[in-house]
Amino acid sequence: MANLDTTADILAKNISGADRGTLARMWNVFRRWPIIPIVVLGTLVFTGVFADQLAPHSPYVADPLDRNIPPVWYPPIVLNAQDSSDALSFPVPVNLTVVEAAIEYGIDPTGLDTREKVQAAFLEKGWKARVQFPTWDHILGGDQIGRDLFSRVIHGARVSLIVTAISLGSGMLVGISMGLVSGYYGGFVDEIIMRITDIWLGLPFILVAIVAVIALGQTFTILLVLLALLAWPPFIRNVRGEVLTLKTRDYVALAKVSGASTFRIMVWHILPGVFNTVIVIATLRVGQLILAEAILSFLGAGIPPPTPAWGAMVADGRTYLNDAWWIAFFPGVAIFLLVMSLNFLGDWMRDRFDPRLRQL
Amino acid sequence: MAKFLLRRFAFSIFALIGATLVTFGLSRMAGDPRYLYAQEGGYGITEERWDSLGIELGLNWKDGTPKPVVFQYSVWLGNIVRGNWADSLLDRKPVINKIKERIPPTLKMGLAAYIFATVIGIPLGVLSAVRRATFWDYMGRGFALLGQAMPVFWVGIMLVLVFSVQLRWLPTGTLGESGNNPKYFVLPTITLGWIAAASYLRLVRSAMLEVMDSEFIKLARAKGVPNMVVIWKHGFKNALIAPLTFSSLILTGFITGAVVTETIFSIPGLGRLAFESIQNNDFPVMVGTVLVFTFMYVFINFVTDLLYAVIDPRIRFA
């Protein structure tokens, strides 16, 4: 909503700021055009498309040594210590930064060889300490089995993009055509289509989706079909509403008189008239689709693992909140940024192209 | 009015039938429901049990020949209506008992979240409309934007991270032993209620802006009516209609939210039961929870329609 301001607002702004500097002018540009959302969205789409080239590591290959390593800005950390006499014993978690450990052992923490000294101090007590260094190699750290989190987040963008693009596309296609038919023919067909839509909207989607996934199997295709089913109702409703008014226009009557077929009238004369509405609804709907996909993945009924889906990554990280918050944090940030920029963009487009849809 | 109510009631019935059709259809689309026992990772089944189960579930006639799907549906529906809801695959307890004991926590949490949403969302919405383009407006809109863009489950986890793991102020989950300790309700309520509060805020704000711009407000102001009376009596009352129609959407959003929130906070409610049934592949329980949730959903929709009619005379007398 931040970008929508009525003329009154803009006028008030302009009157009050008689001597507007460059800063104020820039601020105005940012207010009027959705620049930040477009930049964020562009970055996410770019990383999604070129995930293979951009990701420094494979999102699937795990290195046990990188388990739970912290993001790059963290200080070196003593992760765990193992009984040095027994190589098979289970390491005891320590979770002290190297500096803290150094102070504990009375070592000067500013020296360059602090790490070695700390390890030596541990060894003296009979412990083999594992000191973990955050590296630029793993900017956002590693996940619970040692995969590079940054690469997984980048690949997650691709998964999200593919899922939403396909489900939104097919949902739009079905929704628009059903809306066209329903609005144009009216009567019995209309009644049937609208009642089905109502009933479908009357069902709790996520639960139905879960039942479907369990009953039919957890595959990519089924997820896409389900999300497409989530996508269509608003299209059908709004397109139908538009068509109801469009079909009474003179040019439609003229087309009929000149012998155009029903199909031609619907596709060539009515369809272009609903495009604005469709684009606005699509933008507003994408965010919800992404959230729905994330929730399904989080509940374990979405994209089957090990495909890096953001929702599933947050679910994985949940168990490790105590020692590795970043696993759950960063995928969530990605979802948040994507959905937020889409919402911004959708609001902006609605106010720009179709203010009647304010209620959505 | 009576006609309107009748229509809505008939529609609710249809929605319920639709729900049973969808759940039944899905459970049959998966193939013979008995395969859920026999499949890989299933619970195992003997041959005698296979046959007796066929009759029990209404798949076969007494002599073992299969029934048509329509008959299967009617048997299934009859059992549902009579409260004869199959047994859980996991522990062989009747599904209906399991569901009954899980309802109170869910209702409690839903109520808490709804109160949170109204108490935060509506006043903030009015405030940000009345104090447009000020600090309060930006605060309110920021709150709404965050709420609508952050995934529920992530909000919950981050709240746990900050307030339970780092600051150690609040418990990480469950509703406590008594189930009434307000400390335990804080995080789940915020998690569940934030989106709802955000939607209310946005709806109230845009409705308020529209109403405050209308002629009768100007008239009231010209007459010298005090500002507070203009806002709350002339403005707010008229601005409430649009948000109220969305109440059903907001409340039904709680159903998804309940599954996620209860899972994160280990609250022994219906949503958690649904999640557990997914994890255990416990199909009867899953169907049961979906049916109960759908019933709540349809019921909520019906009630909001009623409220709508009570508040807006244009509907009552149409």
B18-67: pLDDT as tens digits: 888 887 887 777 666 666 666 656 666 777 777 777 777 667 777 767 77
Q: Residue A264 and residue A286: Cα distance in Å, rounded?
A: 30
Distance from CA of B288 to the nearest CA of A (A): 11
How many CA atoms lie within 13 Å of A83's alpha carbon, on the beta-carbon side? 6
Q: In terms of pLDDT, which residue wins out, A354 or B116?
A: B116
Q: Given CB atoms, is A216 within the 8 Å cutoff of chain B? A: yes
Query: At residue A40, does pLDDT exceed 80?
Result: yes
Query: At residue B218, does pLDDT exceed 80?
Result: yes
A170-220: pLDDT as tens digits: 999 999 999 999 988 888 888 888 888 877 877 778 888 887 887 787 888
Q: Residue A9: what pLDDT?
A: 60
B111-142: pLDDT as tens digits: 888 889 889 888 888 888 888 878 888 888 88
Contact A207 B18 (CB under 8 A): no
Selection from A1, A284, A235 nearest residue B198 by Cα: A1
Distance from CA of A106 to the nearest CA of B (A): 27
Selection from A95, A151, A76 nearest residue A320 by Cα: A95
Backbone angles phi, psi at B216, to 5 degrees: -70, -25
Q: Residue A93: what pLDDT?
A: 65
- B74 CA to centre of own chain: 28
Query: At residue B10, does pLDDT exceed 70?
Result: yes
Domains recognised in chain B with CATH numbers: 31-84 (no CATH), 95-316 (1.10.3720.10)
Q: Given CB atoms, is B157 within the 8 Å cutoff of chain A? A: yes
Contact A203 B133 (CB under 8 A): no
Minimum-distance CB partner of A204 among B11, B154, B255: B255
Proportion of chain B above pLDDT 90, given as a percent: 0
Query: At residue A2, does pLDDT exceed 50?
Result: no
Contact A328 B157 (CB under 8 A): yes
B262-275: pLDDT as tens digits: 888 888 888 888 88
Selection from A111, A357, A103, A64 nearest residue A238 by Cα: A357
Q: Complex ipTM above 0.85? A: no
Q: Residue A112: what pLDDT?
A: 66
- Spatial neighbors of B101 by CB under 8 A, at least 6 apart, are none
Question: Which residues 281-300 of B have a C-beta within 8 angstroms of A?
Answer: 281, 283, 286-287, 289-290, 293-294, 297-298
Size of interface A-B (CB pairs under 8 A): 147
Minimum-distance CB partner of A216 among B29, B202, B293: B29
Query: At residue B221, does pLDDT exceed 50?
Result: yes
What dihedral angle (degrees, nearest 10) is formed by the CA atoms of B148, B149, B151, B155? -80
Q: Given CB atoms, is B202 within the 8 Å cutoff of chain A? A: yes
Residues from chain B that touch A1, judged by Cβ atoms under 8 A, are 141, 144-145, 202, 205
Q: pTM for the complete prediction? A: 0.81
Query: At residue B278, does pLDDT exceed 50?
Result: yes
Contact B290 A1 (CB under 8 A): no
> In a mutagenesis test of the B interface, which of A7, A13, A207 is the best target, namely the one with the most B β-carbons within 10 Å?
A207
Q: Residue A1: what pLDDT?
A: 44
**Mean pLDDT across chain B, nearest whole number?**
80
